[in-house]
Amino acid sequence: MKASSSIPTVVNLTNHSYFNLGDHKTIRSHSLQTAPAKIQVIDEQFVPTGEYTMMEDTETAPFDFSQEQPINKALCLGTSLSKICAEGIDLAYCFTEASSTRPKIILRDAERKNTLKIYSDQEACVIYTLNKISDQVKLSQESTIEQFGEITFEMHRRPNYVHSEKDYLTTNYKAYTTYEIE
């Protein structure tokens, strides 16, 4: 993707592709691993508070994927954070390491036949597990999707960064994200 502007312009482009690597209707049995990260804390209206958590308490620990874990462990928890996220994952993971040579995200299906690796120099990834739909949604004549049917990884700057960073109008801004499916 390439863009240009004649005046300084704030832009935070993202890709919103969804993935289900297995033969199952949902991604509940997929496993997920992220590069070391903190979660950006959000309030009940889904607005970032400016705080971050290392996922060390009982409320946020199920969302820690710094070690490979089944996605299902973070779904339908009934906690206040889970309720804010509609009982799924809808959080910004802000990476604590700047490495772009190791994958920021690794997703595997339950049978470990398919793996998605995402490499990026972006500082955050919003992970969303398609939890805000409750009924099956018809995509085409032959295809439907249901809650937790797919997952997306939105690689970009931290959400709401324009309110806390002074460099948001940096010239010659370049970023890359590479998706590899094995």
pLDDT in tens, the chain (182 residues): 677 778 767 666 777 899 999 988 899 999 999 999 999 999 999 889 989 999 988 899 999 999 999 999 999 999 999 999 999 999 999 999 887 789 999 999 999 999 999 999 999 999 999 999 888 888 888 888 899 999 999 998 878 776 676 665 666 667 789 999 99
CB 37 within 8 A of CB 54: no
- Measured CA distances, 150 to 26, 76, 128, 133, 142 (Å): 6, 16, 9, 11, 17
pLDDT value for 101: 84
Which CATH class for the 18-160 domain? mainly beta
> Would you call 162 helix, strand, or coil by DSSP?
helix
pTM of the predicted protein model: 0.89
Position 171 scores a pLDDT of 60
Supply the DSSP symbol for 100. S
Q: Residue with structure tokens 């509609």?
A: 86
At 167 the pLDDT is: 63
pLDDT at 145: 87
The pLDDT, as a whole number, for residue 139 is 80
C-alpha 5/C-alpha 150 separation (Å) is 34
